[in-house]
Each structure stands twice: as structure tokens, then as C-alpha cells.
Amino acid sequence: MSYLSRQLVTSALAANAIKPVPGAAASVPAMFAGWLVSELAPHVIAGTLVDTVLEVRRTRGRSAAPLLGLLNSLALAHVTQQGRRSQAAFERGLDEGLGGDHLDRLRQEYDDLDWRTPLRQLVWPFRLPVPGVEVVKDLTYAPGHGRRGRLDVYRPEGGTEGGAQGRPVLLQVHGGAWTIGEKDHQGLPLMKHMASRGWVCVAPNYRLSPRVAFPEHLVDVKRAIAWIRENIAEHGGDPSFVAITGGSAGGHLAALAALTPNDPEYQPGFEDVDTTLQAAVPFYGVYDFAGVTGSKAALRMRDRFLARRVLFSDPEEDLEPFEKGSPLLRVGPHAPPFYVIHGANDTLVEVAQARAFVAALREATDQPVAYTELAGTQHAFDVFPSVRSQHSVRSAERFLRWAWASRTGEQTHAAADWERSDPIDDTAREGSGR
């Protein structure tokens, strides 16, 4: 391939990263190309400049083609700058959802809040060594499901003791259109970072379509929550505080699990287990299974993909399974604190779904609902370390730590209030076992 051909391809990739190719047929290729170029823009710039310098030397400056390489580098610099500006977008989203003083309150508890990322993670994004973290692999949480019923635990290295209270727990649900995906392919930057900051993170596999139909995927997520309640203390975790996150299909399942606590329909055989979640951070999730937003993209996903490959049901004959599977239709005052993150350039799951979901949450619940919409950002942007994905990790960390600090603060205040108001004397309290 000639230099000019390479630069023409780069031009097309840069243009797609800035403004994705429209249309349903182009949504998947536009996503993959835009995702890689957007998150690896500095690397593409470096390759483009090296290629251009070599072309100038080869042609001794007699060709105008290198001008295209310089223009490509400028376009990719714009893409890179959008990634850098994501920090400000995350800060605005958290300020709006948690209040402008949330950072001051967090700093009273933590002295390690920052936006810095080691340069080596950005230079070599597909290697993610994080010191101080150990992984316990392939623990069975759903006997009889083989490897789809196993999970991994990420925890601080060198001990399983979480102190008297235990460490907060984060459940990471992988994506993959409910049909593919593995527990150790997604969410790694966030899980490893949170484990390095003292959290215990759990990443389960779950059964996939077409071998099972929805809602069996959600049932498995609930089984993982049940396993956490029973077993996470052995890994230093606090079974009474479980937050959930996930991307794409994992974002859908995370949101739906948070909005259907203790629903016996999704807890066959373990109906008595408390599956309430204390916070949810879905990334680029699917929130409209039923197409109630009326968007062409949501209806197309429902009719051409979900109906045929995930639910195995005809929405024209029975819409109820799709409505039950829509987080948008399951919001209510029972919702925990939510932090919704979505890319404005997402060609697989349109950002309008996230906007509608956030609006519904804010209308239905008094709990905090934070939302960050990222300009120039495609689907799956957080899979490996980039400037933008590392900012998303720090942003999610702040929200999760806020949820944990708020929870523990409420418990402390409640205990103090009980001590002040309890009329029973110490002797009676000891006799009652309290």
C-alpha cells in the first residue's frame, strides 16, 4: 500500500472518529473503527508523523502527499483533545449529580483523589499491571453452569481482612450483546484501580444466548449477588455494601439488577436472599428493550436483534417481556444512587436512551443521579487504558467512594442517634444482647 493510500485510509478513520458514518448498516464497523481510533489517537498520530517523515525523505520533498499526513495529524489531535477534555465533563456530571461540595466532603475521607494516570499505561494500553492487587480466579457461584457459572475476585494484595466493617464491594458485569463475552475481558481498568484503593471487586461470567433466553442472564447476575452476600466476607468484603457496574449489555444488566431488588421472578430457588444494591454505575447501557422511546434505533434493536437472538419472542404478539427487560420502565423510588456514563458518538446504543433513562430516574427517585455525556466518544471506550477511559475510572471511583462514605456516614449517625435516644440503661442493654 502506498503512502497516499495509507493516508487516505487514515483520513477516513479520523473523519469517522469525529463524526461516525450514519446508518444502521454502518453502525458496527463505524463503532469498531471509531472506538480504536478515538482511544488510540495519540498512537495513530505518532505512526502518521513517522510515516510522513519517511515519505518526505523518500521523495526529497517533491511530493504534496505529505500535506495530507499533516492534516490527518491535526484532525487526530482534535480527537485526542476531546479525550483530554473528558475530565471536565466528568467533573461537571458529578457536581450536578452529587452537589458542588461533594469533592470537599470526599477529601475529608480520602487523600488520594487525583486524575493522574501512569504514562506507561497510556503508551502500552493493552498491558495493565497494577501493583497491590491479587486475583482469585474461577470460583463457582452457580453450580451446574460450568465456566459460565464462575467468577473472579479482585482484592487488595496480602490479606483478606477488611477490618471490623469490611471493604466495599463492586460487582462488574461484562457486556457482549448478551451472546458473547468473558469476565476477564472488560472492566479491568476500573476493577484493578478500585482493588488497589481497598475495594473488593467481583467479575462473573453468566449464561449467554442463544443457549438461554433473557431473563436468565439477569438471574445469573442475581445469583452472583447472592454468592457475594454469603461468601465475600472471606475475601475481606462487606456483604452489606455492594455496588454494581458494567458496560453495554453489562450496563443493561447492572441497571436492571439495581432496579429489581428482591424480585422473586429473578431469584428462583433463592427468593429469600437480599439482592438490594447500594449504587449503580452503568456505562453505555441499553435501557429501552421495548422501544418505548419510539426511536428507530431502539425499535430496530428490539425487532431485529433482541426478539430473534436474546428473548426469542415476538414483540408484536407479546410486548411484556421486553417491557420487563427495560430499565427505563423499571425506575422508581426504590432506585439506589446512579451514575450513568455514555458517549455522544455511540453508534451501537444511541445516547438518547441514556438521556431518557436519566430523566426518568431523576423524576422517580430522591436518590442522587449523576450523568456524564462524553463528546466524541464511541461505545466500549473504557475497555483498555486511554486518557478518556482513565478519567472515567477516576470519575467512577469518586462516585463509588461517595456512595460508600455516605452509607457509612449514615450508619455512624444512626448509631450515634440511637445511643443518644435509647432510654434503656447499660445494664438492661447488656442483658438484652444489644
Catalytic residue among 379, 382, 386, 389: 379
CA distances from 109 to 48, 202, 250, 405 (A): 45, 24, 30, 8
- The owner of cell 452509607 is 407
Distance between CA atoms of 306 and 289, rounded to whole angstroms? 8
Among this protein's residues, is 346 annotated catalytic? yes
Catalytic residue among 38, 86, 248, 326: 248
Catalytic residue among 152, 238, 288, 346: 346
User: Cα torsion for 300, 303, 307, 308, to the nearest 10°?
Assistant: -90
Among this protein's residues, is 422 annotated catalytic? no
Distance between CA atoms of 361 and 281, rounded to whole angstroms? 13
Among this protein's residues, is 196 annotated catalytic? no
Residues classed as catalytic: 248, 346, 379
